[in-house]
Copies of this chain bind each other. A is one copy, B any other.
Amino acid sequence: MTVAMEGFTHLIPHAAGHEIIRQGRKDLHVVRMTPDVVFDQLIGAGCVRKLTFSWGGNPGVGSLHRFRDAVENDWPHKIEIEEHSHAGMAARYVAGASGLPFGILRGYLGTDLVGRHAGIKTVDCPFTGERLAAIQALNPDVSVIHAQRADRDGNVQIWGLIGVQKEAVLSAQVAIATVEEIVDTLSPVPGAVVLPSWVMGAVACVPRGAHPSFAMGYSERDNAFYQGWDAVSADRDKFREWIQTHVLSSADHAEMLASLREAGDILV
């Protein structure tokens, strides 16, 4: 099963990632442009068979140690990686959301990213003869996002940095959103995108479901958590203990946040 989880520097669906770990899902093909801490956790917890991505780091901090340990040392097991650029991934979601089998792009040509997997080819412009990169459409089985609000009908509203979430939802077979809040009516917000309820498979209310990422208008980014993750994830045992203590021993996200707060690992 291919599961995309999107949110570009904002609204990252961490709570949904923890629930995947809690449910013991294995053998997943996970997709995310920027597999940061949430995917480091999924990889280290052994949920991942294959990772499709375009930038895998801890933003502003450094390496994703679980990601590196999997790629460099096959720990906890070997994972397959499929690597793209941001522009390529974005174009793949756009093609998928548009019902097209491929998209075109000025990029990739001349780089060593070409030829590593079957998803990047070339196409010649039938008008100018120019050779361009052709990228395969992305249509995940499931896409998961975190959003600010939904109304009682399930219409989902996102604002601020909107990233690639609309395309992730519209390219998927089934789309799931966790939201900060469920309201009676979605009042208009400048810069907001609304995804109508009939394109959503499920909506769940999970306040602070993006932590340590943020939800504009609801929470701030927990920069200290990202910094602290470096030491936790650098060590296999520390990582396992952290997952056990905070994720597996918590029944849900509220309990997990309480557990982090108790451990002093969360500042807000």
Contact = CB atoms under 8 A, between A and B. Distances in A.
A123 B123 contact: yes
B121 A126 contact: yes
Interface in A177-193: 188-192
A125 interface: yes
B99 A106 contact: yes
A141 B104 CA distance: 24
Nearest to A119: B127
Interface stretch (A29-37, A78-86, A130-138, A167-175): A130-138
A128 interface: yes
Contact of A192 (B100, B122, B130, B190): B190
Interface residues of A, number: 26
A102 interface: yes
A103 to B, nearest CB: 8
A136 B125 CA distance: 9
A228 interface: no
Interface in A122-179: 122-123, 125-128, 130, 132, 134, 136-137
A101 interface: yes
A187 to B, nearest CB: 9
Interface string A93-122: 000000111111010000000000011011
Given A188-B190, A190-B189, A101 B127 contact: yes
21 contacts: A99-B106, A100-B104, A101-B125, A101-B128, A102-B125, A102-B127, A102-B128, A103-B104, A121-B127, A122-B126, A123-B123, A123-B126, A126-B134, A127-B134, A127-B136, A127-B137, A188-B190, A188-B191, A190-B190, A190-B192, A191-B192
The 7 closest A-B pairs by CB, nearest first: A188-B190, A121-B126, A101-B125, A101-B128, A127-B136, A126-B134, A102-B125
